């Protein structure tokens, strides 16, 4: 019954999301995606968990795949994803030794990205620490011969949920969303160096936030290869050989 209630709330939220999106203005600069598409390169977005809602509003990839928690909270997100052309792939990393479907979800994402569908991963989700790059995005990019596109979304007006671990940002209606990108990181440059790959992604995520949202960047947790990484078996779902082929915002 409770799960059904969450699903109903998700449907209501989807209607609100569509109306909310109509009030927003979108501004994108330094966008590397047209060049990647023209070159036929696969790509995976790496964003902060705090930017998830803003990115769903901003995204123009249809379809795009994203990992969504298998929890009841995730049930409420599924309708929101679908109205924005996001394919929800259900699963989370292990918690207290219990499988939460993370390995199966990663395998499904590998299949989707290999077929040409971009994927979206909040690299520090679902439990942080904030800005920590977990291994899933690295395993996905290496397994699919994909580039990682570092992205940030910076609303001109927003509400910050400062009590949450990630300091979730909620763009306010009638604000402008500024999408910003860093130079794509090519997984081919990091074969056999997953630690270096993670460090590069972490550095670029920090750089984009320091440039466009320095106050929030001050809450980033310094990168550590061993800190809060998912278990190795989650990443082991990736095949051993890859397939061939501006303005910052203020709180209200």
- How many domains is the chain partitioned into structurally? 1
Residue 87's φ and ψ, nearest 5 degrees, are -85, 110
Higher-confidence residue of 93 and 55: namely 55
Give residue 100's pLDDT band: very low, low, confident or very high (50, 70, 90): low
Tell me the three state secondary structure of residue 176: strand
Which CATH number characterizes residue 179's domain? 3.40.1130
- Cβ neighbours for 75, distance < 8 A, ≥ 6 positions apart: 3, 6, 7, 10
Token reading at 16:
């609100």
Token reading at 54:
């803003």
Residue 225's pLDDT is: 67
* Of 121, 86, 129, residue with least CA distance to 102: 121
Burial of 173 (0-12, 13-18, 19+ CB in 10 A): exposed
Measure the CA–CA gap between 69 and 79, rounded to whole angstroms. Answer: 13
Give residue 14's pLDDT band: very low, low, confident or very high (50, 70, 90): confident
Distances (CA, A) of 125 to 43, 92, 94, 240: 19, 9, 12, 25
Measure the CA–CA gap between 61 and 45, rounded to whole angstroms. Answer: 11
Report percent pLDDT > 90 for the chain. 62
Domain of residue 88, residue span: 2-251
Q: Which pTM does this prediction carry? A: 0.83
**Polymer length in residues for the chain:** 252
Token reading at 91:
């699963």
Residue 76's pLDDT is: 72
129-179 tens-digit pLDDT: 999 999 999 999 999 999 999 999 999 999 999 999 999 999 999 999 999
DSSP letter at 193 equals -
Instruction: Say if CB 48 and CB 166 are below 8 A apart.
Output: yes
Tell me the three state secondary structure of residue 136: helix
Tell me the three state secondary structure of residue 198: helix
Residue 13's pLDDT is: 80
Q: Can you spell out the DSSP letters for 138-171?
A: HHHHHHHT-EEEEEEEEESEEEEETTSTT-EEEE
């Amino acid at each position: 019954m409770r799960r059904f209630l969450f699903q109903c709330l998700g449907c209501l939220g989807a209607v609100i999301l569509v109306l909310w999106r109509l009030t927003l203005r979108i501004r994108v600069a330094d966008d590397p995606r047209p060049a990647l598409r023209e070159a036929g390169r696969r790509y995976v977005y790496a964003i902060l968990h705090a930017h998830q809602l803003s990115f769903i509003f901003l995204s123009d990839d249809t379809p795009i795949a994203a990992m969504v928690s298998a929890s009841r909270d995730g049930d409420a997100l599924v309708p929101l994803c679908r109205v924005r052309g996001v394919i929800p792939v259900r699963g989370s990393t292990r918690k207290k030794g219990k499988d939460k479907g993370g390995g199966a979800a990663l395998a499904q994402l590998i299949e989707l990205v290999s077929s040409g569908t971009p994927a979206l991963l909040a690299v520090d989700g679902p439990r942080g620490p904030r800005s920590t790059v977990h291994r899933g995005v690295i395993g996905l990019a290496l397994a699919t011969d994909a580039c990682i596109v570092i992205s940030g979304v910076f609303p001109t007006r927003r509400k910050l949920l400062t009590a949450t671990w990630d300091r979730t940002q909620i763009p306010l209606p009638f604000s402008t969303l500024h999408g910003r990108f860093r130079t794509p990181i090519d997984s081919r440059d990091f074969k056999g160096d997953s630690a270096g790959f993670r460090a590069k992604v972490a550095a670029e995520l920090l750089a984009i936030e320091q440039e466009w949202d320095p106050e929030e960047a001050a809450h980033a947790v310094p990168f550590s290869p061993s800190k809060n990484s998912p278990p190795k078996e989650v990443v082991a779902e990736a095949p051993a050989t890859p397939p061939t082929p501006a303005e910052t915002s203020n709180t209200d």
